[in-house]
Structure 1
């Protein structure tokens, strides 16, 4: 009976499957494989995002993925990629990467589940230490923004580059779209990591130097603005995350309190929640904490083996919950040596 179902009905059923169940369905028979590869939209948003623990140094040619549905860790081989790349951010089911064997910024994208790897074309201007931001328009269309950085001066030496470039995945080209104040270019180059958050037409970066501050780029008007950070001089760590489509900030103080603030329409911050103390006590040192977030999930982590504090939206129930997730210490009875990671939250995409 199942082999004779119309493709449109099968397609609708398959779209509700979690990524791991979807992968198993593709392998059942030739008819199902054809249906999943020709008619089914990727089941991206009906299930929670997976946490990807990506080694900061290319260690053992593997990253590790935590499946939030069955609460298991899986090893994903990275032997199809060069060892000279480091993750920047997730874009849907893809990972944006930068090369570490060159001073000039050079980017690529990969899908760790389907083992796809693709170089992005070179930027119009060679830049070092530029800030990178991503905007996901929808599952098959994204833009990458590069701001600031340093370029070679005509007479030798280096200068700060007060321009913004944008990569459009539809046209697969880079375009210099605007200038920017030199002081913003300097701060983005010297004190800003690559993590960015897009909210309501603005692309935001937070400085890594205390006291923290936030720089925002209005994509429509090409204007720059600066925002203050709540408790900026007292936060031991701080990170930007999206929350219900708004800009939010997660930060922790030396006293061990970890809070989330949300930016209101009046550009004022309001505290919206705190990490439960029983979970926060599992982190002995908030100075080593890292944070990654997408709409629907926030994860506080340190390394691959120490465990994570995760806040997830319970889909279809309209509520959130905090949970402790054990770290990845072994897979199939094989011990995993602890190491530093860059955490990513993404929805596995078995098409790209």
Structure 2
């Protein structure tokens, strides 16, 4: 390599050449030699990458079973599996630059990743990192109960909210967490953050029969313990009763998605005929159907005891226990929009959640 003509090229020219490569090929080139690594890790090249259109990647985290198995055998080389739907390619982001044990990804925003990690004193801390530049920052520690039961929501201006029956809010640069009661009747299900408002499903039914309702609260109201607003309209009818195990997903614009199994009847243990995606316009408070899973695809999920729903914008993703595949719904703005075919994962053990 010392005599290679590539060493004679100007650095700007090298940066332009490499910038045309897909991200997964750039990561591979980093491992070719020290010269390539230094070139592709230089601040000017990273800045050039930041000017490209944003990549909409899907990051997965190991389930608790796979997480323990993974740490027992590969603890010295942790990685983050990421899928690029546009390139139909898996990427492994090494996390070995983090000086922590058992990092688990829980949230992301604008190319930054939030992970729970074990601090040296065995407490849990949220770590903010950029897997591309391999830089990180540690937020003040929280107790282990927060990491086990809390949902991490990331807002603007460096605000981070961890929500369970309690809530913890962190402002960038504040140096500490502000903890308070979430003031909900039960633990919120699949909370999401839209602008400065939190939306969550809450079970207001009985121990024998669930009854899900939609609640919202601004961050300012949450901090002041002013309570949540129950969103409902007479025109909505039985929108919350037709779905089994509903989950919320943030959509594009001022909209949210509610996803769950479409019940075949209103009986207590009714089976599901497919998975339905409903969309709520927060400006008009009107629901419409954004998509449903094709029957032949849903048959694979019928064999799974539990499935995960995640995503955002115009993509909703589904993974199922023991299914071994990932299903993606794209451009959920019309009932007839296509679903992406099953994504095979021969090199990523699909005991992953999110």
Alignment-derived partner of residue 243 in structure 2: 235
Higher RCO (C-alpha under 8 Å, 6+ residues apart)? 1
The 2-side partners of 1:231 and 1:100 are apart by 41
Alignment-derived partner of residue 157 in structure 1: none
Alignment-derived partner of residue 273 in structure 2: 256
Indicate the SS of the match to 2:318: strand
The 1-side partners of 2:102 and 2:43 are apart by 37
Q: Is the 8 A contact 1:305 1:328 kept in 2?
A: no
Indicate the SS of the match to 1:240: strand
The 1-side partners of 2:295 and 2:61 are apart by 25
In structure 1, the gaps of 5 or more residues are 150-160, 344-352
Aligned pairs, how many? 307
Matched, 1:196 2:191: yes
Indicate the SS of the match to 1:20: helix
Match of 2:301 among 280, 283, 291: 283
The 1-side partners of 2:94 and 2:16 are apart by 31
CA 1:213–1:36 in 2, change beyond 3 Å: closer, same or farther? farther
The 2-side partners of 1:122 and 1:300 are apart by 32
Point out the structure with the larger strand share: 1
Scaled by the length of structure 2, the TM-score of the pair is 0.67
Alignment-derived partner of residue 226 in structure 1: 230
CA 1:54–1:93 in 2, change beyond 3 Å: closer, same or farther? farther
* CA apart distance, 1:174: 3.6
Structure having the higher Rg: 2
CA 1:13–1:311 in 2, change beyond 3 Å: closer, same or farther? farther
Post-superposition Cα deviations, 1:255-276, rounded to whole Å, max 9, x if no partner, equal 3221111112243422222222
Q: Which moved more, 1:92-101 or 1:268-277?
A: 92-101
Alignment-derived partner of residue 347 in structure 1: none
* CA apart distance, 1:10: 8.1
Scaled by the length of structure 1, the TM-score of the pair is 0.67
Post-superposition Cα deviations, 1:166-213, rounded to whole Å, max 9, x if no partner, equal 2233x2534538x6674x1x52xxx335x4322243122234783223
Q: Is the 8 A contact 2:291 2:337 kept in 1?
A: no
Alignment-derived partner of residue 268 in structure 2: none
Cα RMSD over matched residues?
Answer: 4.3
Q: Is the 8 A contact 1:87 1:342 kept in 2?
A: no
Match of 2:353 among 319, 342, 346: 342
Alignment-derived partner of residue 171 in structure 2: 168
Indicate the SS of the match to 1:173: coil
Matched, 1:135 2:154: yes
Match of 2:325 among 307, 326, 331: 307
Match of 1:67 among 64, 67, 84: 84
Point out the structure with the larger helix share: 2
CA 1:196–1:37 in 2, change beyond 3 Å: closer, same or farther? farther
The 1-side partners of 2:129 and 2:182 are apart by 33
The 2-side partners of 1:206 and 1:59 are apart by 32
Match of 1:122 among 141, 149, 156: 141
In structure 2, the gaps of 5 or more residues are 72-77, 205-209, 263-270
CA 1:322–1:181 in 2, change beyond 3 Å: closer, same or farther? closer
Q: Is the 8 A contact 1:309 1:325 kept in 2?
A: yes
Indicate the SS of the match to 2:68: coil
Q: Is the 8 A contact 2:315 2:330 kept in 1?
A: yes
